[in-house]
């Protein structure tokens, strides 16, 4: 009898068909074959092998497929050019698992699907008993949106390099491709800048609640960028200006209009600081910071923040954003900014990030008319720092409670009047860390909501259904347990015992 195909894959692939037969059994003799002459694909093969070795104890050698080589095992191949950079095809038969994509990025996304087709115990860090069978399926898949992000606020509470890498591992499971790092805020400046060393040593020396804080050296930052790159994630660093800058003002009082250094701030209020917009030193500062960050960042975007500059009048705010946009461009990068930046004249290449569900989205619509693309992070759906419900131990409530269904059950093409599918570059899940002290807290807020945002960004609207989704979500829980990830057992999902 043919086993039913029930691949509980998240995000739901664009197309899944049962192909008949018993599927593929992973065995001690299984090899992973990659095309000769592609070190990048060999690295994807090595990533897959490492993921499967832990719980199987199998050697799973990664070898180059010979010209007439045998066609059994797990085969990573190039082809399927019409599926874009991230699309892939996956064919599972009794003899082989064949993953085909244009290049390594699509193969990497396909590898995440392959992992989810195996039993949850495959994710365990110690050797587990089998069987380890993939169902006989044919999957053809590609993302709906190009930008599928997760933002981590390392400013309110500092996260170590290893914690950030653990978050990267988590988000890469669900095929996200952007890691947005909120590197600066009132409570801390978290990235070393050679020309302005006190930003890190003083500005990074504390955090919300008065703990020790920290900052990334350039090597630290680079190691995060590389780790993310290896998982086909692009880092988008954010330097939030002109507001949210108390840590910078405290480090360099000349950036403040009155020239006096404010105390470091360890509370959680927002909107009370600004760089001095009139002083030339402010723009030398920004040129140095943006220049150093651009040089360290291979991705095309720098995030300039721009939210909640409540002490700055609109016209002066717009002029400031336009000037910063020019600095970013002079350093060869494109701007992304919070929705407030839409009040300025943006270059067509600049991206606007929608977040504030309390205020008008008119300026965002205006920017879209001018040709700008939008990343959607509606706080009432995509803010993973909101409490699930009134009993959640962590989190804030200003945008209401965000339950698992809220995070899942919305469509980017109809969220905002006058903003349609083609205006939307993608979606992003935000994890602000006012109440989160470390990666365990972050996991608890991200799981189980982050996979929902990932599916909103990846899966075709037609394949999305809440009841089917929550069944697939429940099936993720044993995987999280195997990976020692913390998650919230929302009452909206029937979790396995």
Could you list the residues that contact ligand TNX (CB under 6 A)? 270, 307-308, 338, 355, 383, 385, 396, 432, 434
Residue 413, phi then psi, degrees to nearest 5: -80, -15
Residue for token digits 């993608």?
A: 426
- Label the pairing between strands 15-18 and 137-141: antiparallel
The 8-class DSSP code of residue 65 comes to: P
The 8-class DSSP code of residue 342 comes to: G
Residue 158, phi then psi, degrees to nearest 5: -75, 140
The 8-class DSSP code of residue 209 comes to: G
* Minimum CB distance to ligand TNX, residue 332 (Å): 25
Strand partners, 153: 182
Q: Which is nearer to ligand TNX, 112 or 273 (CB)?
A: 273
* Minimum CB distance to ligand TNX, residue 131 (Å): 45
Residue 368, phi then psi, degrees to nearest 5: -65, -40
Closest listed residue to residue 47, CA positions, set 126, 132, 107, 122: 107
Verify cis geometry, omega within 30 degrees of 0, for the bond prior to 11: yes
Q: E strand or H helix at 478, and its extent?
A: helix 466-482
Reading the block at residue 365, the tokens are 């619509």
**Active-site residue, 308 included:** yes
Name the E strands within 341-465: 351-354, 373-376, 424-431
Alpha carbon separation from 257 to 245, 304, 320 (Å, rounded):
13, 20, 15
* Minimum CB distance to ligand TNX, residue 378 (Å): 11
Largest separation between any pair of C-alpha atoms in the chain: 79
Q: E strand or H helix at 302, and its extent?
A: strand 301-303
Q: Which is nearer to ligand TNX, 310 or 489 (CB)?
A: 310
Reading the block at residue 50, the tokens are 């490492």
Looking at 77, 254, 308, 322, which residue is catalytic? 308
* Minimum CB distance to ligand TNX, residue 181 (Å): 14
Task: State how far the Cα of 274 lies from the Cα of 271, in Å rounded to an integer.
Answer: 8
Alpha carbon separation from 305 to 140, 243, 341, 422 (Å, rounded):
37, 8, 8, 24
Q: Which is nearer to ligand TNX, 60 or 351 (CB)?
A: 351
Task: State how far the Cα of 336 lies from the Cα of 351, in Å rounded to an integer.
Answer: 5
Q: Which is nearer to ligand TNX, 89 or 238 (CB)?
A: 238
Query: Residues with catalytic annotation?
Result: 308
């Amino acid at each position: 009898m043919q086993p039913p195909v029930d691949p509980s894959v998240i995000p739901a692939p664009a197309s899944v068909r049962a192909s008949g037969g018993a599927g593929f059994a992973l065995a001690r003799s299984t090899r992973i074959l990659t095309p000769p002459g592609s070190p990048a694909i060999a690295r994807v093969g090595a990533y897959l092998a490492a993921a499967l070795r832990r719980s199987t104890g199998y050697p799973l050698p990664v070898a180059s497929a010979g010209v007439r080589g045998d066609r059994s095992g797990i085969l990573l191949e190039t082809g399927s050019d019409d599926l874009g950079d991230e699309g892939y095809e996956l064919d599972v038969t009794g003899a082989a698992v064949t993953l085909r994509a244009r290049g390594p990025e699509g193969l990497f996304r396909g590898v995440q699907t392959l992992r989810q087709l195996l039993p949850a115990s495959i994710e365990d860090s110690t050797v587990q008993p089998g069987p380890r069978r993939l169902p006989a399926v044919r999957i053809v898949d590609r993302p709906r949106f190009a930008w599928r992000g997760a933002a981590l606020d390392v400013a309110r509470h500092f996260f170590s390099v290893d914690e950030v890498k653990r978050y990267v591992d988590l988000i890469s499971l669900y095929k996200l491709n952007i890691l947005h790092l909120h590197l600066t805020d009132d409570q801390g400046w978290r990235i070393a800048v050679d020309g302005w060393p006190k930003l890190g040593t003083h500005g990074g020396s504390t955090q919300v609640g008065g703990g020790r804080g920290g900052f990334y050296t350039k090597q630290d930052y680079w190691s995060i960028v590389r780790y993310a790159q290896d998982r086909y994630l692009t880092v988008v660093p954010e330097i939030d200006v002109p507001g949210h800058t108390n840590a910078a003002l405290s480090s360099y009082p000349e950036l403040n209009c009155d020239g006096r250094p404010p105390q470091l701030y360890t509370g959680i209020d927002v909107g009370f600081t600004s760089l001095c917009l009139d002083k030339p030193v402010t723009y030398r500062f920004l040129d140095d910071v943006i220049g150093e960050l651009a040089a360290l960042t291979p991705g095309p975007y720098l995030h300039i923040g721009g939210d909640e500059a409540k002490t700055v009048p609109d016209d002066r705010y717009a002029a400031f954003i336009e000037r910063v946009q020019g600095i970013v461009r002079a350093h060869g990068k494109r701007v992304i900014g919070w929705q407030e930046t839409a009040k300025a004249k943006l270059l067509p290449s600049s991206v606007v990030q929608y977040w504030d569900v309390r205020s008008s989205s008119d300026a965002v619509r205006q920017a879209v008319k001018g040709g700008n693309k939008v990343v959607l992070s509606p706080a009432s759906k995509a803010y993973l720092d909101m409490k699930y419900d009134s009993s959640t131990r962590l989190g804030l409530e200003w945008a209401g409670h965000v339950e698992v269904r809220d995070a899942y059950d919305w469509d980017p093409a109809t969220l905002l009047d006058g903003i349609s599918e083609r205006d939307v570059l993608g979606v992003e899940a935000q994890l602000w860390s006012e109440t989160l002290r470390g990666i365990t807290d972050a996991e608890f807020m991200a799981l189980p909501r982050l996979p929902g945002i990932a599916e909103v960004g990846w899966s075709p609207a037609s394949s999305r259904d809440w009841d089917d989704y929550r069944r697939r979500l429940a099936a993720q829980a044993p995987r999280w347990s195997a990976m020692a990830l913390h998650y919230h057992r929302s009452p909206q999902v029937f979790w396995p015992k």
